Amino acid sequence: MSNAPDPIYSVENLCVRFPLAQPFSEMIAGKERPTVRAVDGVNFSIRRGEILSLVGESGSGKSTIGKALLRLLDPKVITGSVCFEGKDVSTFSKTDLTTFRQRAQMIFQDPYQALNSKLSNFYQVAEPLYVNHLTKTKEELYERVRVAMDQAGLRPPESYMGRFPHELSGGQRQRIAIAGAMVMNPDFLVADEPVSMLDVSIRADILKLIVGLREERGVSCLFITHDLSLAWLISDRIAILYLGKIMEIGKAEEIAANPLHPYTQSLLSIMPKLELRKEGKRELLSGEIPNPTEAPKGCRFSSRCPHAMKRCSEEEPAMSDSGEGHLAACFLLDEKKA
Amino acid sequence: MALLEVTDLHTEFAVGKKTLHAVDGVSFTLEQGESLGLVGESGCGKTTTALSIIKLLPGNAQITSGSILYQGEEVTKKTRKGIRDMRWKEISIVFQGAMNALNPVMTIGDQIADAILLHENLSKEAVKARIAELLERVEIDRKRATNYPHEFSGGMRQRAMIAMALACNPKIIIGDEPTTALDVMVQAQIFDLLERLRRELRMAMILITHDLSAMTDTCDKAAIMYAGKIVEYVRVADLFTEAAHPYTRLLMSSYPRIGSERKMIDSIPGTVPDLTDPPKGCRFCDRCPEAMPICRETPPPEILLPGEHRVSCHLPSLIQKEGAKHV
């Protein structure tokens, strides 16, 4: 692991706006095209060797942030800056981008769709190597694929190489996808809901793999999940997202023990505890996450917040620091401090 | 007399020339107003058990032996018409993918009306009133009855499915993974709704889930299924302290316990055995950390423990446990 204390990623005021369909009549009238704000002003950084979790419901912009970090989105829809080791990813030259693509990798949610069903597992994993001409000899290619598959827990690797994805179980496929990412020896990994399609009995293996990569090779990771308890389990810090904005960010233990934002409190209270629940301990929110094209004014959580005040629907609360990097955006905190 | 009594149910699928023993000797009872959780990994026969009860099995599957008694009547011997009268009126089911279970070219109201009119001879106004009442029961605005499924969000579609399941006041409602593919908050809302409806309408419920933690808030009893058999049957209140079968204990340790000490969760190595050729002895023996030579040879005995607790296991610590009885 490098000793550089600077963050591997720093994201400042990231906004992603996807254009929506517009009627032709409005288009020729020169009206501005309507957009949906998938991500709306997000700030965070990821330190070297850190696992940061993004937690939120669907439509909160988790995956979009992951893609923005890896420069997988059209630059036209992005504003704000995403810096990888101090350099803005949007300014990368072609050569910069080639190295960047090798150093930052992604694991997708659905191992049934992420693999090419016509490629054997060996080529699945080897593809990024020969596309980038990274190996000189066949032996070297074989060796690197073997090591990557072994690291991903496919043991013995030889027995998997000749087989095809359809011959494998969901967990094994996800391991192939991870081996495909690992073969490039990346420094950074975006794991987008890597276990949500898997049976509970094999979730732990995949999570251990991600934690192991961090511990052995210092790989930093953005872990995207809707499950707060998994985020708490493996990450150093957690960011809670709601409708494209971070509501709360802080150390994983702090978020679990002392949640500041009402949304986090509610998410935490509905987490199954595997013990008998005391009556009335659940703080269920009503309704669903609003449509991001018509996000509520003021605090975007105000339409579902059990503690919403008049002020909440008028102005937007800023992030306030409660010490040790634990930040939350809520007016209730200002009142507490005052 | 129990509301539903399933005894030694066997359901088999014809797969090519082989037979797949999807459900292999499942027994349980369900009393009025009670809720039972069927838990297990995918491929353990949970859904097949449910489909056997209302005889919605696909063409290549059949119930080969065992009995299903609903209010004392044998379901397996019913005629097609008999079954059709019973489905929805007595037992209804909420399917897994609310996205796919609704008809996209019919309004929600018409789809609910279909279910009502099949069983009850009501006037147009009465049906309309009933639909409005049902939608309000599941917290959907009554005006939305004229909407099509694509105008509903995922959570609302699942609510509409529940409204449809309630259409004829069934005594049993079966939820087949009703919340998979839904958001955590919506999931909690749906469970909350099911739980409230069950109390209000005094319905019995069978909740099928792969998520052990999901049923702890909603069920009275849990049946843990593995490879077509119920390996443990226990009251949910006792589950957390008394879980006896190694599979149940392993399942429980594969959930993180947020708020307590941060400890990495465990996985269960291996996969569910091939059910066209199930192992001779205990079906879990290949994955069990406590397996003994006897586990490979003979199927485990069923042990009755105090408090309606049944376990199928060879472990001597269970067999010799105080109050244990053999069946």
Secondary structure in 3-state letters for chain B: CCCEEEEEEEEEEEECCEEEEEEEEEEEEECCCCEEEEECCCCCCHHHHHHHHCCCCCCCEEEEEEEEEECCEECCCCCHHHHHHHECCCEEEECCCHHHHCCCCCCHHHHHHHHHHHHCCCCHHHHHHHHHHHHHHCCCCHHHHHCCHHHCCHHHHHHHHHHHHCCCCCCEEEEECCCCCCCHHHHHHHHHHHHHHHHHHCCEEEEEECCHHHHCCCCCEEEEEECCEEEEEEEHHHHHHHCCCHHHHHHHCCCCCCCCCCCCCCCCCCCCCCCCCCCCCCCCCCCCCCCCHHHHHCCCCEEEECCCEEEECCCHHHHCCCCCEEC
Structural domains of chain B in order of their starting residue, each with its CATH number = 4-90+170-326 (3.40.50.300)
Question: What's the pLDDT at A279?
Answer: 55
The answer on pLDDT for A64 being more than 90 is yes
Spell out which residues of chain B touch residue A207, defining contact as CB-CB under 8 Å: 264-265
pLDDT band with cut points at 50, 70 and 90 for residue A1: very low
pLDDT band with cut points at 50, 70 and 90 for residue A3: very low
Is B231 part of the contact surface with chain A (CB cutoff 8 Å)?
A: no
B184, B189, B220, B250: which to substitute to probe chain A, counting the most A Cβ within 10 Å? B184
- ipTM of the assembly? 0.83
- Chain A (237-256) residues lying within 8 Å, Cβ to Cβ, of chain B: 252-253, 256
* A121/chain B closest Cα distance in angstroms: 20
Phi, psi torsion values for A21, nearest 5 degrees? -65, 145
Question: What's the pLDDT at B30?
Answer: 94
Longest Cα–Cα distance in chain A: 68
For residues A205-213, give the mean pLDDT. Answer: 91
Spell out which residues of chain B touch residue A252, defining contact as CB-CB under 8 Å: 262
Question: What's the pLDDT at A338?
Answer: 67
CB contact (8 A) between residue A200 and residue B185: no
Spell out which residues of chain B touch residue A228, defining contact as CB-CB under 8 Å: 184, 258
Spell out which residues of chain B touch residue A259, defining contact as CB-CB under 8 Å: none
Question: What's the pLDDT at A35?
Answer: 87
Tens of pLDDT along B63-101? 999 999 999 999 999 999 999 989 989 999 998 876 678
Name the residue facing B267 among A203, A233, A252 (closest C-beta): A203
Name the residue facing A274 among B183, B210, B240 (closest C-beta): B240
Tens of pLDDT along A126-137? 999 988 888 889
Spell out which residues of chain A touch residue B255, defining contact as CB-CB under 8 Å: 200, 229, 272, 274
Spell out which residues of chain B touch residue A203, defining contact as CB-CB under 8 Å: 254, 265, 267
CB pairs under 8 A between A and B: 114
Tens-binned pLDDT, residue by residue, of chain B (327 aa): 789 999 999 999 998 889 999 999 999 999 999 999 999 888 889 999 999 999 999 999 999 999 999 999 999 999 999 999 899 899 999 988 766 788 999 999 999 999 899 888 899 999 999 999 999 988 899 999 999 999 888 888 988 999 999 999 899 999 998 887 788 888 888 888 888 888 888 999 999 988 887 788 788 999 999 999 999 999 998 888 888 999 999 988 888 888 777 888 888 888 888 888 888 899 999 999 999 999 999 999 999 998 889 999 999 888 888 778 876
- Identity of the amino acid at A95: T
Between residues A323 and A18, the one the model is more confident about: A18
The answer on pLDDT for A280 being more than 70 is no
Distance CA B301, CA B324 (A): 12
B158, B185, B240: which to substitute to probe chain A, counting the most A Cβ within 10 Å? B185
Question: What's the pLDDT at A2?
Answer: 44
Is A279 part of the contact surface with chain B (CB cutoff 8 Å)?
A: no
Tens of pLDDT along B20-46? 999 999 999 999 999 999 998 888 899
Nearest CA in chain B to A235: B262
Distance CA B289, CA B253 (A): 13
CB contact (8 A) between residue B240 and residue A253: no
β-pairing, A245-251 vs A237-242, is: antiparallel
Report DSSP state, residue A21.
P
pTM of the model: 0.88
CB contact (8 A) between residue A200 and residue B211: yes
